[in-house]
Amino acid sequence: MTAADQSRPPSALPGAGAGAPDDPDTAAAVPAAAVRPHASVPARPAAAIPAPVTSPVPTAAQVSVPHHNPSPPFAALDLGTNNCRLLIARPSGDDFVVLDSFSRITRLGEGVEASGMLLDAAIDRTVRALKVCGAKLRRWPLAGVRLVATEACRRAGNADVFRARVASEAGLELEIIPADEEARLAVIGCAPLIDRQARRVIVVDIGGGSTELTVIEPDDSLADGLRRIDWVSLPLGVVTMADRFGGGDVPAATYRAMRAEVSGRLVDLAARVAVGDHIAAGAVQLVGTSGTLTTLAGVHFDLASYDRGRVDGRQVTVAGIRETAERLRAMDLADRGRHPCVGRSRADLVVPGAAILEGVCDAFPVTGLTVADRGLREGMLYEMIAAHRSSRRRPDRRGGGGRRT
């Protein structure tokens, strides 16, 4: 995962996750016409909002689109505490083909832990990135758009002021989603990687301002085969942990304190879901999605540069991740920043992120995990595509027949 600012060309590969490269800031002259969800595709279908517990999760197989009729593109933007990420994609079979993407570290949530407010400099950086996203969105005849903001905007006292500025200057209407919706979308995005033979699956999404864990039970009695058992959102992310504990030179004692902070907050969830016997039987899958996971995996696999195709869906031992985390912790900030899979923009965040992951593994002592270079954007795309397909197959109310609209 490099810090280079590049534009991702149209790709024949489905998906594009945390490793998607950046794009130049070149959108200042583009008119800021408002980008809103297309009227024919609900951005947040009511039927797709499950109860917090025992809620079904759609799978990638539900979004297949007939090959004979080219499908319109969809777009999903995830504005997190640390990153601004956009995917524009067209349905293709059971997945989608990426047409354009954007990823830039903006650190919108910098300082929110201490002040409770978005800083002016962070807002400026983020608005510049969102102008690029707005320009990209207006280049495509989109059938569906969803633009979400997460923990930094949930916590900041001036989030409404920020949203108004984004609407005015970038022409984008941001939706601030609650933590349970963030967790749900992450699971949908990772659904293609879930082992349906596992007794339990834990999906962990380490963000900039929060970390969500969702416990899933594969269940063949459900159409989608997945049931949400429980979930939790921790107000701990890579930016908030770095603000609190530091992310440059991290002493071993400080690192242990970060791990303990996370594992201590997971005691109640671990007691509720009682997966100890399943873990002992090797029947629990841990799926990790975030820049932290993909960065650690890239370093662990000794990649010369970040390569999504060599990371997404790969299995790695927890022991191997712990060794990689310790190797990065022992480096100074400059050495970390020179690593091709870390880069200067993540050098002070990867160690706090690794501590969060190790804290999760302390609370749920599995021996391996699945690395996912996918998450909220993919979840939004799968859901919008499924809603679009459903609307096309719905009988015409006026004629009562089966004509596609």
Q: How many whole angstroms separate alpha carbon 6 and alpha carbon 99?
A: 15
- Cβ atoms of 15 and 98 within 8 Å: the answer is yes
Dihedral sign of CA atoms 230, 235, 241, 242 in order: positive
Q: Going residue by residue through the chain (405 aa), what tens digit of pLDDT does each one get?
A: 333 333 333 333 344 444 433 333 333 333 344 565 433 333 333 233 233 333 334 344 443 334 455 789 999 999 999 999 999 999 988 889 999 999 999 999 999 989 999 999 999 999 999 999 999 999 999 999 999 999 999 999 999 999 999 999 999 999 999 999 999 999 999 999 999 999 999 999 999 999 999 999 988 887 677 899 999 999 999 999 999 999 999 999 999 999 999 999 999 999 999 999 999 999 999 999 999 999 999 999 999 999 999 999 999 999 999 999 999 999 999 999 999 999 999 999 999 999 999 999 999 999 999 999 999 999 999 999 988 888 877 655 544 443 332
Q: What is the pLDDT of residues 12-30, one digit of tens each?
A: 334 444 443 333 333 333 3
Query: Which of the 8 DSSP states describes residue 202?
Result: E
- 214 strand-pairing partners: 203, 231
Question: What is Dmax (Cα atoms) for the chain?
Answer: 70
174 dihedral zone (left: phi>0; alpha: psi -120 to 50; beta): beta
66 dihedral zone (left: phi>0; alpha: psi -120 to 50; beta): beta
Alpha helices, H only, 138-207: 151-155, 159-169, 179-190
> Quick one: tokens of 136?
């990209």
Alpha helices, H only, 77-119: 112-115
Residues with Cβ < 8 Å from 165, sequence gap 6 or more?
Answer: 123, 127
Q: How many whole angstroms separate alpha carbon 141 and alpha carbon 379?
A: 21
Q: How many whole angstroms separate alpha carbon 340 and alpha carbon 127?
A: 27
> Quick one: tokens of 394?
């719905």
Q: How many whole angstroms separate alpha carbon 217 and alpha carbon 200?
A: 5
Q: What is the pLDDT of residues 295-354, one digit of tens each?
A: 999 999 999 999 999 999 999 999 999 999 999 999 999 999 999 999 999 999 999 999
